[in-house]
Structure 1
């Protein structure tokens, strides 16, 4: 049935309404002069006669005539109730399909759009990382921590693992290799970068172009925490291959193997 909150007032209202509708339908259906001579009147007459026959046959001719108006009114009330429920269900379905564009967006783009527009708690938790208890927050205050699964999904779409080479005269080969994990977003999404920084507990946010900001992690000790996260919550797109090469380069730098020209050429030539 429909989502009707029944009370004495509502029941009385629907019974009176049903009674009036019943009276009108009965007049139309049984009017020998055919005041409304069309398919609608024929259908109403057929319905009226069918229910009347069922009632009189199940009870008896005399008592059936007595109880028929009440039973017919109850039938109309139930019919209206179910029609209201069907309309409500259709409206919910239409609203569901018109209120989002999941089919036209990638997962990362949709979650970023969802956060930017509504700050829903599906992407954020109100507790610090490495704690046992997790509580999801629905507020817009920029004090939450990101869900680890959300971080991985977001980095799949927006993250970047790079190896940069800089001219450094103090280095043995005159060059410095630096692994960098970064996420670049529009200025309006800086709160998301701040949440990323807060969740990992490391990294810095820099201005990146005229209208964008970048969250960046570059030291080996900090990158170790980043790699621990993606080892536990693996990437699922082509970016996983980039991550594995990035992690291999980190091991090379950590073992000082990058100081040879052979290794340097392997990565940059």
Structure 2
């Protein structure tokens, strides 16, 4: 598990401000044939920067000691933190400093806290509905799988 205790309070506040301005806190539904319920809730935190400032994302990755960086073909670079084991402790550390993305972070933390491998279909669908709420807060346009699709797949009426 990654810890972010080496960051100073000033660094934490700075990183939160950077995330508020040039980042995204997200959750998405992904089909997974190897999962009992057939779906995974994937949580991510992504930082964006023009590729000419790629060095900054490298610096941030070293500070956080986690994440993957990629250069996109559109002149942008991104640093992405993926998964509950990384995203949850990161958001716990910075949520108090977020302004713009605090609701998304709080919802992702709720999802992380309540996600379980032995989850009932009904409880999983309720978490999927939180994923849908994050979509509205992020003005997402590309999501293809929604809670209603999971409900239908699992035959859940709630």
1-side partners of 2:55 and 2:61: how far apart?
Answer: 10
Structure 1 157/251 Cα, relative in aligned 2: closer, same or farther at 3 Å? same
SS at match of 2:115: helix
| Total equivalences in the alignment | 126
Give the TM-score normalised by structure 2.
0.67
Structure 1 209/176 Cα, relative in aligned 2: closer, same or farther at 3 Å? farther
Mapping of 1:14-163 within 5 angstroms?
130=6, 147-163=11-27
SS at match of 1:150: helix
SS at match of 1:173: coil
**Residues 1:172 and 2:36 are matched in the alignment:** yes
1-side partners of 2:12 and 2:38: how far apart?
Answer: 39
RMSD: 2.6
Give the TM-score normalised by structure 1.
0.42
**Residues 1:191 and 2:55 are matched in the alignment:** yes
Structure 1, residues 133-192: CA drift from partner, whole Å, max 9, x if none?
xxxxxxxxxxxxx83221121111112111111121111222111001111221111111
Structure 1 190/155 Cα, relative in aligned 2: closer, same or farther at 3 Å? same
Structure (1 or 2) with the larger CA radius of gyration: 1
Q: Is the 8 A contact 2:92 2:109 kept in 1?
A: no
Structure 1 148/265 Cα, relative in aligned 2: closer, same or farther at 3 Å? closer
Q: CA deviation at 1:201?
A: 0.8
Match of 1:243 among 84, 101, 105: 105
Q: RCO higher in 1 or 2 (8 Å CA, sep ≥ 6)?
A: 2
Structure 1 192/173 Cα, relative in aligned 2: closer, same or farther at 3 Å? same
1-side partners of 2:21 and 2:119: how far apart?
Answer: 31
Q: CA deviation at 1:211?
A: 1.3
**Alignment correspondent of 1:266:** 129
Q: CA deviation at 1:207?
A: 3.0
**Alignment correspondent of 2:135:** none
**Which consecutive unaligned segments of at least 5 residues does structure 2 have?**
133-146, 148-158
**Which consecutive unaligned segments of at least 5 residues does structure 1 have?**
1-128, 133-145
**Alignment correspondent of 1:124:** none
Match of 2:115 among 253, 256, 269: 253
2-side partners of 1:158 and 1:173: how far apart?
Answer: 34
Q: Is the 8 A contact 1:181 1:223 kept in 2?
A: yes
